[in-house]
Structure 1
Amino acid sequence: MSAIVTKATNTVNSLVAKSTQLANSAVYWGKVTAEVGKVIYKKEGLAPPSQKDFQTLYNSAVKFVKSGEQQKKFLEEAAAFKPTKANTAKAAIYGTQLLAFFSIGEIIGRRKVFGYPSVGIHGGAHH
């Protein structure tokens, strides 16, 4: 009986140690992220939009949706768009950033850098 109790105690102690380590890591990286965010916020001079900005954006969006003329004008301008070297470079940079954020999200979701975690009795293998 004492072997079972010892094994259970060891398992609980191991889980507590792992969860404490995970919590400490989460707090640490949360603080690091917050500090980096503060630095970027200050350096870039960022500020949240005002209520007036939200109202202006909302009103212009509603106006665009209701106006067929504005939609037609927008489509004509989009069809006449000629890409330049600067536009192409911007698009490539934004695309690379989107790919990086997507990839980081995938890694976090899988909890692995490569491949997906094994699930099930046979380790995810199909017969």
Structure 2
Amino acid sequence: MSAIISKATGLINSAVSKSTELANCAVYWTKVSAEVTKVVVKNEGLAPPSSAQFQTFYQNAFKFIQSPEQQRAFLEKAAVFRPGKQCAVKAAVYGTQLLAFFSVGEIIGRRHVFGYPSVGGSHH
């Protein structure tokens, strides 16, 4: 009977230590992320939009939806738009950033830098 109790105690102790380790890791990375965010917000001068900015944006959007003349003018401007070198450079930079964020998300989701973790046997 004491062997079963010692195995159960060992299993519980292992689970508690792993969960404590995971919690400590989560707290650490949350604090690091918060500090990095503070630095970025401070250096870039970022601030949430004011309520007046929200109201102005949504009023303009609502007017655009209700006004066929504005929609037609927008479509005419879009039809004559010719992208240049500067537009291509912007698209390449934004595309690279998008690919980087996607790749980091994939790495976080897989918990591996390369490949997916093997689960179960491989059958061909």
Corresponding residue number in structure 2 for 1:25: 25
What SS does the corresponding residue of 1:4 show, helix, strand or coil? Answer: helix
Corresponding residue number in structure 1 for 2:83: 83
Letter in 2 for 1:4: I
What SS does the corresponding residue of 2:7 show, helix, strand or coil? Answer: helix
TM-score (norm 1): 0.85
Corresponding residue number in structure 2 for 1:96: 96
CA deviations 1:28-69 (Å, max 9, x no partner) are 111111111111111111111000000011111111112222
- Shift in CA distance, 68/125, structure 1 to aligned 2, threshold 3 Å: farther
Corresponding residue number in structure 1 for 2:57: 57
The gaps in structure 1 that reach 5 residues or longer are: none
Task: Measure how far apart 1:126 and its partner are.
Answer: 5.2
- Percent identity, aligned pairs only? 69
TM-score (norm 2): 0.87
- Structure 1 position 10 matched with structure 2 position 10: yes
RMSD of aligned alpha carbons: 1.8
What SS does the corresponding residue of 1:75 show, helix, strand or coil? Answer: helix
The gaps in structure 2 that reach 5 residues or longer are: none
- Shift in CA distance, 108/124, structure 1 to aligned 2, threshold 3 Å: farther
